[in-house]
Amino acid sequence: MQQPELIPHLFRTEYRKIIAVLCKRFGFEQIETAEDIASETFMTAAQTWGLQGIPQNPVAWLYTVAKNKASNFLKRQAVYNHKVVKDPAVNEDTSTMPAYEIDLSPQNINDSQLQMMFAICHPAIATEAQIGLSLRILCGFGIEEIADAFLSNKETINKRLFRAKEKLRSENIAIELPELAQIDERLGTVLATLYLLFSEGYYSVSNNKTLRKELCFEAMRLCYMLVENKHTNKPPVNALLSLMCFHASRFEARLDRNGELILYEEQDTSLWDADLISKGGYFLNCSASGNQLSKYHLEAAIAYWNTQKDDTKEKWEAVLQLYNRLLQIEYSPIAALNRTFALSKANGAPEAIIEAEKLQLTNNHFYFTLLGELYTGINNRKAIQHFQQALALAKTNTDKQVIQKKLDKIAH
């Protein structure tokens, strides 16, 4: 890999590791310093490698430079505390100060990222800020990329991250794993954040296809870190990773060459990733231990059925029962809408229409799209009316294109 491509690649993979270790070492009071040191390390690499060529071990080179910069900062801080603040805890003889070691070993990098995950997902931090901080600190995303993911601008994202960092400091949130007794309680917030992070990619309205994939794969990487740790390897974690694997397996089949959405029934199943489907099955089996049934278990089971190519009544009856359980555990309008689709496949459109119209989700374009689908072939006039209402409510070009195709199909 040439230097112009190598540095952005290493920034994506190594920046987050350096940040996590430095933040843990400095504390959230010095989070901006940690970010500056990490950024300066890559600027130094760009300048030095451009003149001297790429070193034999680029990652080790980056770690050495980051360690040196961090150690120098700690030494300067110690001198300042001694000479200006007159901190009695600092040795008067600055020449004999201890070495300020920065541990960038694989184990500490892994531990730091896991502990940072729990810190960022603290209940005191707003949900949007949790995702933004996760993208910045745990995934190494740039401000522009985060703005793209949220369909926002750099100024808004910078303000959001600034407020979140202030909250981390004011709440004195520690970068550590919670006590074992508290892990289950805090794990729920972490999983919710990873679930939303994955959804930002999978259901993103951004046209940046590469970014969408990376959001999903970063959420999967962080979830896999939880699975690898014995204290956080819990059934709901495996269930969520299973769900992500099943969804990601159909990534390549969901969009055409123009970036337009391809509906489930029209997807080329040869593009589905068999390896990810297999991994999804593995983690779903791992999630079956214990007696805890989470929404992730049920959504993963539904996603499993969606990777099965047959279109039988038995399949849709199984999906329908899973949606029934899911709505009992955690009701959501979208889940209720999806249940109605499964009902139409299992018991027919007329029964599904009755259930769908009870939902009255009149501000949701998916609601009218589903009604348009259900009425197609039964009452095409009503179907067209519903599709037109869906078109009026749809916000993205992708959704509008899908609805327009359905309208055109009825017209012909």
Confidence band of 265 (pLDDT split at 50, 70, 90):
confident
Q: What is the pLDDT of residue 93?
A: 52
Residues 147, 127: Cα–Cα separation, whole Å: 16
Token readout for 160 is: 């959001």
Backbone angles phi, psi at 109, to 5 degrees: -60, -45
Three-state secondary-structure class, residue 24: helix
Using CA atoms, how far apart are residues 72 and 75, in angstroms rounded to an integer?
5
Tens digits of residue pLDDT in 334-378: 899 999 999 999 999 999 999 999 999 999 999 999 999 999 999
> Where do the domains of the chain lie?
3-104
User: Which residue type is seen at 270?
Assistant: S
pLDDT for res 89: 57
**In three state form, how does the secondary structure of 130-197 look?**
HHHHHHHHHCCCCHHHHHHHCCCCHHHHHHHHHHHHHHHHHCCCCCCCCCHHHHHHHHHHHHHHHHHH
pLDDT at 139 over 70: yes
Q: Alpha-carbon distance 202 to 154, whole Å?
A: 22
pLDDT at 330 over 50: yes
Q: What is the mean pLDDT of residues 66-79?
A: 90
Asked if the model's pLDDT at residue 88 lies above 50, the reply is yes
Q: How far apart are CA 316 and CA 239, in angstroms?
A: 21
Q: Which residues contact 176 (CB under 8 A, 6 or more apart)?
A: 115, 118, 119
The token pair that represents 127 in the structure block: 């949900």
Mean per-residue pLDDT of the chain: 89
Q: Cα separation of 50 and 55, whole Å?
A: 11
pLDDT, tens digit (0-9, with 9 covering 90-100), for 370-412: 999 999 999 999 999 999 999 999 987 878 888 998 999 887 7
If you count them, how many residues does the chain have? 412
Q: What pLDDT does residue 97 have? A: 46
Summarize the confidence of residues 85-111 as an average pLDDT: 70
Q: What is the CA radius of gyration of the chain?
A: 25
Question: Cα separations (Å) of 340 from 65, 244, 284, 315, 373?
Answer: 57, 23, 25, 15, 11
Say whether pLDDT at 158 is over 90.
yes
3-state secondary structure at position 372: helix
Per residue in 163-212, pLDDT (tens digit) is 999 999 999 998 999 888 888 888 999 999 999 889 888 877 666 666 67
| Crossing angle (nearest 10°) for helices 295-305 and 274-286 | 150
Q: Which long-range contacts (CB under 8 A, 24 or more apart) does 132-138 make?
A: 132/157, 132/160, 132/161, 132/164, 133/161, 133/164, 133/165, 134/193, 134/194, 134/197, 134/222, 135/197, 135/215, 135/218, 136/161, 137/16, 137/19, 137/20, 137/23, 138/16, 138/20, 138/113, 138/218, 138/222
Q: What would the mean pLDDT of 101-125 be, rounded to a whole number? A: 92
The pLDDT assigned to 151 comes to: 76
Backbone phi, psi, residue 174, to 5°: -85, 145
The residue type of 327 is L
- pLDDT tier, 155 (very low <50, low <70, confident <90, very high otherwise): very high
| pTM > 0.75 | yes
Alpha carbons 275 and 257: distance in angstroms, whole number: 23
Taking a C-beta distance cutoff of 8 angstroms, is the pair 227, 258 a contact? Answer: no
Residues of the chain above pLDDT 70, percent: 92
Do residues 349 and 378 make contact, with C-beta atoms less than 8 angstroms apart?
A: yes
Which of these ranges, 204-218, 276-290, 297-311, has the smallest mean pLDDT?
204-218
Task: Please give the average per-residue pLDDT across 103-129, as a whole number.
Answer: 92
